[in-house]
């Protein structure tokens, strides 16, 4: 019991305060942050679905079935390439993975080829999935986070321009997705 309590507490910490970094709802895993929260200090695991039956939750004003994450009509695939090179800029692994996963789900039949810029190598090793671009963006983001006063807007812009000009992968990307930090995305 103590071990489970520690695990659930750790899960809620990793997924962020109030589920702020919870990407589980959009993943194929049958588990969400709510499952972790409702099971802290419990002796038997209960899913949110079972909990909702025991503790009825007010129904949403809009039927969930009426909301679409994909258009209800097929896309004209003649205008979409079969492979899209995506430069994903961001220093947070799950925030960088989320838009890639959404693109893959939305553009079925299209090979999404992401290259990640700004992630620490350790995250790619842990997740076992990254094709990494230049480490210069990651270093710039870390340096700016440590000493933000040394990186006013004109310095960030100049350094990002230099990194872009030096990296052929960034230049050849057909789509650039930027998650954070904001100064790197603007």
83 Cβ partners below 8 Å, 6+ apart? Answer: 110, 111, 113
Q: For every one of its 186 residues, what pLDDT tens digit does the chain have, with 9 covering 90 and above?
A: 677 667 766 666 666 555 555 555 666 667 676 777 677 667 788 888 888 888 776 777 777 677 666 555 666 667 778 899 999 988 888 888 888 988 888 888 889 999 988 887 777 777 766 778 888 888 898 888 888 888 887 888 899 899 999 999 888 999 999 887 766 776
**Helix or strand run (H / E) with residue 10:** helix 2-14
């Amino acid at each position: 019991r103590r071990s489970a309590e520690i695990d659930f507490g750790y899960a809620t910490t990793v997924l962020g305060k109030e589920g702020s970094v919870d990407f589980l709802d959009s993943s194929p895993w049958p588990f969400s942050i709510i499952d972790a929260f409702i099971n802290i200090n419990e002796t038997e695991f209960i899913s949110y679905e079972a909990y909702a039956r025991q503790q009825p939750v007010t129904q949403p004003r809009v039927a969930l079935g009426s909301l679409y994450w994909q258009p209800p009509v097929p896309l004209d695939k003649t205008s979409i390439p079969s492979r899209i090179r995506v430069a994903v800029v961001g220093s947070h692994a799950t925030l960088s993975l989320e838009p890639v996963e959404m693109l893959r789900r939305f553009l079925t039949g299209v090979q999404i080829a992401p290259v990640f810029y700004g992630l620490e190598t350790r995250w790619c090793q842990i997740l076992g999935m990254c094709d990494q671009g230049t480490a210069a963006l990651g270093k710039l983001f870390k340096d700016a986070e440590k000493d933000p006063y040394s990186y006013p807007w004109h310095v960030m812009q100049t350094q990002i321009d230099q990194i872009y000009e030096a990296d052929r992968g960034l230049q050849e990307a057909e789509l650039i997705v930027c998650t954070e930090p904001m100064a790197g995305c603007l």
